[in-house]
Structure 1
């Protein structure tokens, strides 16, 4: 099959999923009811994330009253009872599963979603220059093609809730794929900046303050107007290390179940980032973010782990 034909395939239609050939389980969580599978779709490596969907709180009473069938009680010890049940299928029934597919999946994707040990590492500005910056530069430009497709309106245009095409202060605000679009306490938006010159918070300077302030103000206003979620109910944060090196901001409901990406060390509140930049000297002097030492956890399979661990060991840290 040609590359051109591959781009037209729909990885989540039944015909494609029926070609799935299983290799192994990468990671699973009994807390979220999810599992990451590694296999092949139409002969190409693929990661399939299978997860039970959340039940919307306003729909739950109706399900309990008259929306279930085949209830099987497996624990009865008054006043405690546990049972398995099936939802009666109707046109309005909630979906049973949420699927996310990465196809074709690279070795970087596979390492990211493989269960692994994590270690806290220390990244000095020198370690950034010798290890991290060359790592970022090693990625081919097409690694971010999916981001550019969103920014240019070629993909996911119908999902975007805010778009500003200004090359310096513009950005796109769109629901993250980790959000079902319904459960407000799980609200998750992502702001992707239009400029391609910011790879991570290390690249931010005082000149980027107008952009960051606009993202903050727009995220709060959009969440309030579109979803009825107030500013005090939101976390706005950035990751370091991020999962991809095009600057973006996460906008997440404060009651969202704690994700690994919200852990101390990796998540930095946008308001704090703005404060650090306001305290930074003007360009061309490096910002405080460029001069800081960051401590964060990495999986032992992460592409940066070996290099940073070796630098840390050499420094006797």
Structure 2
């Protein structure tokens, strides 16, 4: 799959005999470095269109000791068939997930995954991996969480700031599992995300989007914290992204346990690729088959 918008593509191959996916993407140029780059940092400039007042050219960036890397590389290895389907170009369709369809199609799909699929999440939560990247850690098994930079962020470009909060509890797989009792956890994530972004990066509360995905890419509850100027339209698609403040509000309007929350009773509409493991089942369910 490739995207001309983000300047990235995904390659499928093998690494040490196991299936692997390599994500190759052009790095962003920091706005404060751009003037000097345009003035003194280009070589082999080739003007291929000249029609005053419009000009187009190709150029190389001069190699210096403080040059930014040209490419950002990310690797998924070993890559499962689920990974391959996710990153393969495919047609998409908006599907309707009722509570009944969740019970008959989605819940069994989630339960079918081996716990090993979330081992990388547990390694972060337990401090066995990426400990040096963690911005905030609370070990409480019920209300604790870990806040860390997302791998999709280069760590430098503030307008592309992207953090992720991973909850300590392993009982919440998606927003369907949230109840009124989880409101304090979600509020603490919201409060800490704002505080960390302001203290570490100088990014104010009003410059952030806090949201969760449904369907998520992995079934351990997590919150995305993204700069409002981040061009992440695919991840903010209508139907997939739900603002954390709205999720908290839905829970505040929900009845106390053991009654199901509004989120458990809602019908969700979202787009899925035809290669997604839920596609066939949800398509059949919405067509009444």
When normalised by structure 2's length, the TM-score is 0.99
When normalised by structure 1's length, the TM-score is 0.90
How far is the alpha carbon of 1:258 from its aligned partner?
3.2
Partner of 1:252: 226
Aligned partner of residue 185 in structure 1, secondary structure: helix
- 5 Å-filtered alignment, 1:173-192, equals 173-192=147-166
How far is the alpha carbon of 1:259 from its aligned partner?
2.6
How far is the alpha carbon of 1:88 from its aligned partner?
1.1
Which stretch of the first structure deviates more once superposed, 107-116 or 78-87? 78-87
Aligned partner of residue 298 in structure 1, secondary structure: strand
Q: In structure 1, list runs of 5 or more residues that go unmatched.
A: 1-26
Cα distance in 2 for partners of 1:54, 1:236 equals 22
Cα distance in 2 for partners of 1:245, 1:138 equals 11
Once the two structures are superposed, residues 275-294 of structure 1 have per-residue CA deviations (whole angstroms, 9 ceiling, x without a partner) of 00001111111111111111
Aligned pair partner of 1:42 in 2, 16, 19: 16
Is the counterpart of residue 120 in structure 1 residue 133 in structure 2?
no
Aligned partner of residue 314 in structure 1, secondary structure: coil
- 5 Å-filtered alignment, 1:72-221, equals 72-221=46-195
Cα distance in 2 for partners of 1:285, 1:262 equals 30
Aligned partner of residue 115 in structure 1, secondary structure: coil
Aligned partner of residue 128 in structure 2, secondary structure: coil
Once the two structures are superposed, residues 250-275 of structure 1 have per-residue CA deviations (whole angstroms, 9 ceiling, x without a partner) of 00111111331201100000000000
How far is the alpha carbon of 1:103 from its aligned partner?
0.8
Is the counterpart of residue 267 in structure 1 residue 268 in structure 2?
no
Aligned partner of residue 256 in structure 1, secondary structure: coil
How far is the alpha carbon of 1:308 from its aligned partner?
0.5
Partner of 1:22: none
Cα distance in 1 for partners of 2:65, 2:257 equals 59
Aligned partner of residue 209 in structure 2, secondary structure: strand
Is the counterpart of residue 305 in structure 1 residue 279 in structure 2?
yes
How far is the alpha carbon of 1:183 from its aligned partner?
0.8
Cα distance in 2 for partners of 1:105, 1:198 equals 24
Once the two structures are superposed, residues 198-218 of structure 1 have per-residue CA deviations (whole angstroms, 9 ceiling, x without a partner) of 000000001101100000000
Cα distance in 1 for partners of 2:40, 2:240 equals 44
Misfit runs of 4+, over 2 Å: none
Cα distance in 2 for partners of 1:172, 1:219 equals 10
Cα distance in 2 for partners of 1:138, 1:69 equals 54
